Structure 1
Amino acid sequence: MIKSKISSNQAKMVIWLSFLAFFSVMNETVFNVVLPDIAKQFHISPAIANWVNTGFILPFAIGSVIYSNLSNRFGVKKLFLFGLSVYNFGSFLGFLSSVYLPFIIIARILQGVGASAIPALMMVIITRYVKKETQGKAFGLIGSFVALGEGIGPAIGGLMANHIHWAFLFLVPTLTLCALPFLSQLLPEEPSLDQQFDVFGAVLLSLAITMFTLFLSFHQLSYMLFSLCCYIGFMLRILHTKHPFIDPKLLLKKRFILSVLAGCILLGTVAGFISMIPYMVREIFQKSTDVIGVGVLLPGTISVVLFGMIGGLLVDKFGKRSTLYLGLAVMVTSLLLLSVFVDFSVWFVTVMTIFTFGSLSFIKTAISATVSAQLADHEAGEGMGILNFACFLAEGIGIAMVGSFLTKPLHKVTLPLTHALPTANLYSNLLLLLALSLILGGILYGIANREKLS
């Protein structure tokens, strides 16, 4: 009887966690398709408009590490309820202040701070409270909802923006309030432990990352200098404090660091490409927001799920390196073809997007498997956390950089490819730069996995 009751509570817990995971990842992609609408409404450049997404992703990445570190000190229940409360407060603030851009960005930051509790604490909850023999099923169910959220986000964003208004996208995450009473009952109370947390280190790293991203967006040298000072302070802090925010020993592992950097370049480049698509399709083909979301982005995001299954099989059969280079070859080819035929047809953009998104699954799988293999058992948890943290940050930085490039038009640069429309030249040149960035990431991955590298 007791065993049956525990199993039932575990099942309910996993279902609600899957529900929350769906909304947390969907909020990464749902605003992507409406960035041109926001830029037009407020008469701002893409460099500023893209901060609607970057403002969510940066605190989402940083918060995912902080919540994990705080879980032993405060318990998962208190942190989870706090995170959901902040997430929904940010959502209501964004909707109510949707005519004032600074509050929109603040609302997105609050959403990121709150939503980051979901993936961070979800892993802790399943590890602690779900039986080991059923944890695989739990992770599989949550992974399915994550893929569904990533896939449906652009479609929801496009449809709501086109038929109602993009401001209503802020209200979609408020459905997570349904989970509050159930999680309050299902999650056990945990005693608070006297565990040290490096608050100062976390603040220094957060400031360093934020200032560096602002520099990439607006090219103000003061941002770069401030970022550099914070980064130096962070390195000194983790080397001399007893309980550092990040273990400096991991930062000394060459293979690990180079593999993480390669993953950051590759995933950040793709994130920038995704953020560029709505601007490109709107300016070149004059398509509506719902067509961009449903007709262009949705097929690509769905392909991630299908290709992801194939990617896992390829890693097991042919190895991590072969799988990554296959995905990289397909992705670079897709971007180069799109650069040449950027103004050919909107449906050609859709097809190239499908191949790009699909090959991303190969790269993600290979990077995760590569980094995991480079870590000892006692380093696995923190090492994989650093990988996820770094890649989330890279996505935010990639989006900011593309916004900056769109603001300072690249069509003025003379390149071999020319098109009738100046805007087509802009996107063609940017696609070439993104392809070169992918090649750089592939070279760095090869260096990281050379046999001679210690």
Structure 2
Amino acid sequence: MTAPAFATARPWPALWSLVIGFFMILVDSTIVSIATPALMRGLNAGISAVVWVTSAYLLAYAVPLLITGRLGDRYGPKRVYLVGLTVFTFASAACGLSDTIEMLIAARAVQGLGASMMTPQTMAVITRIFPPDKRGPAMGLWGAVAGVASLVGPVLGGVLIDTLGWEWIFFINLPVGVIGFIAVVRNVPSLERHHHRFDWLGVALNVVGMFLIVFAIQEGQTYDWGTIVGPVSVWSLIIVGAVVLAFFAVFQSRAAEPLVPPGLFRDRNFSVANGAILVMGFLITSMMFPMTLFAQTARGLTPTQAALLSLPLAVITGGLAPVIGKLIDRGDPKWFAVAGFSLMVASLVVYAWFMRPGISILWLLIPSGMLGAANACIWGPLSVSATRNLPMHRAGAGAGVYNTTRQIGAVLGSAAVAAFMEARLSAQLGAGGGSGMAMMGTRIPAPLEQGFSTAMSQSMLLPAGVAVLGVFACLLLVPPQGPSAARVDAGRPRGIEPQPPTDPIQQEG
């Protein structure tokens, strides 16, 4: 009998190699937001066109995740990751060389596609090369990267734009991509492939349904949640997308090889962790907008200075997450996640309390540090809970579902906080008051500072309220049953008996 993958692979060099590219693609999810004014000047583009630089990336990233996770199961996660990294790196070069906004938007969409091929593979490889009772530190590192990268983006973007120009927020990916490619080739093992058949009708239904819903939610505020063109409205796209996904769900229940194996959701912890990571995705995007706009528009900080207010968050998350990862292998991840979401609620309420005129900006470092501790207690424990019982032949599918859920949460958070901020600005300053200056990061006039600060403070209560849902969701997690909790037959189609173990380290060629 041959040894399992986690007995023959060198897991830590493999993981460190994978997180290089994972960090890069998550940074690119947020780095462009700080470059909006520079892109408008450099490419002679309007605000609505520049918004699509981010929207195109997120759409192309979020929509294919279920499919790209499954590709890793079929063709091997190492191979799919390397293809995705190559696509992402070449697309980054195209972004930096763009001389029109249309070219940049198209290159960003290709970048997003490359990112969608990479993301599920990182989590799938962790599931397959770390034993269940040793997965905590690995998921802690994965979670630390996910938490820190989303906050490093604005800081790095501000520094690069201020010193080298907006093109370098994309050119910096080229050496990182090359280093990441070489590291993965050298250190990541070629894992066993599972010869799944592709459900092409399911693929089509998933892509169409996801695109309609993600596009509508993402662009709803742009069209004031009304008509897009002719009889097509934002809400009609959401309804049609929901109907298409309903057909997808029905079809999946009858498909021989479904994209989303029903057995995944029969595991309680996988289902609950997906609900909690949806909340976390919502929080990461929704809490950043009010904080950043308060710092720049109400307090007059530069983009780089505003981004540096998140430094305690990034440092504490990066330092504490590996420690939490070691602890969750010895205890129940549930209570770390519950504590993390509880601390998240408290830190967002403290932010709301401090966001008022005249207060020293240094006070904002306190809730930033609290958020760092909260992040460290959430990412790793949730990931461990989601993957502990995943069978090896479902690792890619499970990772695809988990990351799709996180991205949907991020899109929902972005759309919800934009609408909520607009409503609070209208209530405090009158219709349209201050919203144009907020979009551009322009310092608000002194007579409007109180109302604007109050609107941003109230907007922080939206993610705080949603974080409460994360607390209740994590209370539903059940404790692990030890190493034996990894039920390798979970999700196996009925009537198929367990197969003898095979060597999981095989050439993916």
* TM-score when normalising by structure 1: 0.78
Contact 2:140 2:381 in 1 (8 A): no
Alpha-carbon distance between aligned partners in 2 of 1:427 and 1:208, rounded to the nearest angstrom: 33
Residue deviations 1:261-307 (CA, integer Å, cap 9, x gap): 133113322332124433332111121122123x2123321221123
Contact 2:282 2:412 in 1 (8 A): yes
Q: Structure 1 residues 357 and 255, CA, compared in 2 at 3 Å: closer, same or farther?
A: same
Q: Structure 1 residues 162 and 229, CA, compared in 2 at 3 Å: closer, same or farther?
A: same
* Matched residue SS, 1:116: helix
Q: Which of 240, 244, 251 is matched with 1:226 structurally?
A: 240
Larger mean Cα displacement after TM superposition, 159-168 or 429-438: 159-168
Structure 1 residue 54 displacement after superposition: 4.8
Contact 1:55 1:109 in 2 (8 A): yes
Is it true that 1:311 corresponds to 2:324 in the alignment?
yes
Larger mean Cα displacement after TM superposition, 378-387 or 198-207: 378-387
Is it true that 1:292 corresponds to 2:306 in the alignment?
yes
Name the structure 1 match of 2:114.
114
Is it true that 1:268 corresponds to 2:282 in the alignment?
yes
Structure 1 residue 160 displacement after superposition: 0.9
Alpha-carbon distance between aligned partners in 2 of 1:234 and 1:43, rounded to the nearest angstrom: 37
Larger mean Cα displacement after TM superposition, 309-318 or 156-165: 309-318
Name the structure 1 match of 2:250.
236
Q: Which of 408, 411, 425 is matched with 1:411 structurally?
A: 425
Is it true that 1:427 corresponds to 2:456 in the alignment?
yes
Residue deviations 1:237-273 (CA, integer Å, cap 9, x gap): 2122211110123345566434421331133223321
Contact 2:31 2:157 in 1 (8 A): yes
Paired letter, 2:243? C
Higher helix share: 1
Q: Structure 1 residues 230 and 437, CA, compared in 2 at 3 Å: closer, same or farther?
A: same
* TM-score when normalising by structure 2: 0.71
Alpha-carbon distance between aligned partners in 2 of 1:334 and 1:189, rounded to the nearest angstrom: 43
Alpha-carbon distance between aligned partners in 2 of 1:378 and 1:94, rounded to the nearest angstrom: 37
Q: Which of 339, 361, 368 is matched with 1:346 structurally?
A: 361
Q: What pairs with 1:18-417 in structure 2 (closer than 5 Å)? A: 18-35=19-36, 42-44=45-47, 52-71=53-72, 73-75=74-76, 79-97=80-98, 99-100=100-101, 102-122=102-122, 149=149, 152-175=152-175, 176-177=177-178, 195-216=196-217, 217-218=219-220, 219=225, 220-251=234-265, 256-293=270-307, 295-312=308-325, 315=328, 319-343=332-356, 344-372=359-387, 375=389, 377=391, 381=395, 382-383=397-398, 385-406=400-421, 408-413=422-427
Structure 1 residue 318 displacement after superposition: 6.7
Contact 1:161 1:290 in 2 (8 A): no
Contact 1:68 1:120 in 2 (8 A): yes
* Matched residue SS, 1:423: helix
Alpha-carbon distance between aligned partners in 1 of 2:328 and 2:149, rounded to the nearest angstrom: 25
Contact 2:143 2:380 in 1 (8 A): no
Alpha-carbon distance between aligned partners in 2 of 1:356 and 1:342, rounded to the nearest angstrom: 16
Structure 1 residue 37 displacement after superposition: 5.5
Alpha-carbon distance between aligned partners in 1 of 2:414 and 2:404, rounded to the nearest angstrom: 16
Alpha-carbon distance between aligned partners in 2 of 1:437 and 1:289, rounded to the nearest angstrom: 27
Alpha-carbon distance between aligned partners in 2 of 1:403 and 1:363, rounded to the nearest angstrom: 25
Corresponding pairs, count: 436
Aligned alpha-carbon RMSD (Å): 4.3
Contact 1:17 1:142 in 2 (8 A): no
Paired letter, 1:231? L
Paired letter, 1:395? A
Q: Structure 1 residues 379 and 54, CA, compared in 2 at 3 Å: closer, same or farther?
A: farther
Q: Which ranges in structure 1 are unaligned for 5 or more consecutive residues?
A: 1-6
Structure 1 residue 68 displacement after superposition: 3.5
Aligned-pair identity in percent equals: 20
